[in-house]
Amino acid sequence: MTNSQQLSERARRVIPGGVNSPVRAFTSVGGDPVYVTSGKGARIRTADGQELIDYCGSWGPLILGHAHDVVVGAISAAAEKGTSFGINTPAEVEMAELLCKLVPSMKMVRLVSSGTESVMTAIRLARGFTNRCKIVKFTGGYHGHSDALLVAAGSGLLTGGITSSAGVSPAVAADTFVPDYNDLEAVHRIAEGHGDDLAAIIIEPVAGNMGLVEPDPGFLEGLREVADQTGALLIFDEVITGFRLAATSRGQAVGVTPDLTTLGKIIGGGMPIGAVGGRAEVMQKLAPLGPVYQAGTLSGNPVAVAAGLATLKILTDTNPYPEMARLAERLASGLNRIAEDKGVPLTCVQLGGMFTPFFAVGRPRRLDDVKQCDLKAYARFFHGMLARGFYLPPSQFEVAFVSAAHGDEEIDAFLAAAEDVLGTQAETD
């Protein structure tokens, strides 16, 4: 038995499913989950001593790679001065100022401790500001695990959603409409029927939770118009995309201004953090200024803020984005070429440093397209790559990342291994 298998067996006795977040259990790719003991740069080391080149990056936060010296230095320096006070600190003011400067549509911002919390706050804020209840989210959009957002079924389009988790009250689900990503027509129909009740339209401006799915040209602009016409707030959930594709939000980069933006992951440099920010008159509804309650013992935690500030400063000073995009483009086009040579139906979609190898022909535009992918082929690819020393997200419905710590060496190695894996796959299929 490997060390990871032993750890997994121990874990399953005391942690539900052996994991503290479900996708780590490898449910969709099968096999034994990996245990990691350390990471540096683009590489992680498993409990069995295997070195892996990491294309998951802790699901997004580690844009600078693992244990970046400056970030670790900032964390240690902050921790030495005290890990938490529950009292205001100068660093959180600096962080709020920096976020508002880098994302000018955020006139005010509040720090929280996770992406889930940031989105939960944004929804409550939208409801409190508009005095309305209903929200629109899109199939395949993941916005953390708060009740109102654990609703997925497209069939609930005009009558309210169907919960996708036990424990979510049907009443909560009924307030959530779930059109397909890129289906502006459906959003118009919802607006016609329920426009006066709509508190918010929430969307990932580039979807990352059904693999990488880009909005069609004009789609985000169309949502902005519907929000303006109905009085609903437009919320861009940028927990993944914030600071991923440029040293700002995706909304800012593409010139579509949401009322609220939610952030997480990268802005904490690998420590737990989240943020919600936007129009001043909306943000001023938050307690203690306004009637919408939100609070947190560890909100604005000094260690997390130090890691985030260090990360954001490196991103703005060094602008690693064009290089990450070049490397990810090399990876994606290389993978597509190999797949074509071997006759494997695969389309690797890439944007900046984000990519997803979809086991299907053509780029998905919505969740149903992704569901048509050959999920078993993804699982075989995942395990083939893992055995050769590469860690990809353990699900077809996730996005992979090239970090600033990756270089041509890591891309060459990935493509050489993929040639091997897809060659074997083509023979067995």
Nearer to ligand PLP, 204 or 369 (CB): 204
Nearer to ligand PLP, 208 or 334 (CB): 208
- Asked whether the beta carbons of 207 and 240 are under 8 A apart, the reply is no
Site string for ligand PLP, 134-153 (x = CB under 6 A): --------xxx---------
Among 33, 115, 154, 357, binds ligand PLP (CB under 6 A): 115
- Asked whether the beta carbons of 158 and 189 are under 8 A apart, the reply is yes
Nearer to ligand PLP, 62 or 411 (CB): 62
Q: Binding to ligand PLP (CB under 6 A): which residues in 236-255?
A: 237, 239-240
Q: Which of 45, 53, 35 minimizes the C-alpha distance to 416? A: 53
> How far apart are the C-alpha atoms of 139 and 127, rounded to whole Å?
21
- Which listed range, 108-116, 297-305, 375-383, 421-429, lies at the site for ligand PLP (CB under 6 A)? 108-116
> How far apart are the C-alpha atoms of 346 and 208, rounded to whole Å?
18
Verify binding: residue 121, ligand PLP, rule CB under 6 A. Answer: no
Verify binding: residue 114, ligand PLP, rule CB under 6 A. Answer: yes
Q: Binding to ligand PLP (CB under 6 A): which residues in 178-207?
A: 204
Verify binding: residue 390, ligand PLP, rule CB under 6 A. Answer: no
- Which residues are within 8 A (CB) of 1 and not within 5 positions of it... i.e. 6 or more apart? 9
> How far apart are the C-alpha atoms of 370 and 212, rounded to whole Å?
10
Nearer to ligand PLP, 144 or 352 (CB): 144
- Known catalytic residue: 265? yes
- Asked whether the beta carbons of 321 and 241 are under 8 A apart, the reply is no
Task: Name the burial class of residue 1, with classes exposed (0-12), middle (13-18) and buried (19+) by CB atoms within 10 angstroms of its CB.
Answer: exposed
**274 phi and psi angles, rounded to 5 deg:** -155, 165
Among 53, 111, 119, 135, binds ligand PLP (CB under 6 A): 119
Nearer to ligand PLP, 144 or 278 (CB): 144
Binding-site residue total for ligand PLP (CB under 6 A)?
Answer: 15
- Known catalytic residue: 285? no
Number of Cβ atoms within 10 Å of the Cβ of 216: 14
Chain residues binding ligand PLP by CB under 6 A are: 59, 114-116, 119, 142-144, 204, 208-209, 237, 239-240, 264
Active-site residues, by number, are 142, 237, 265
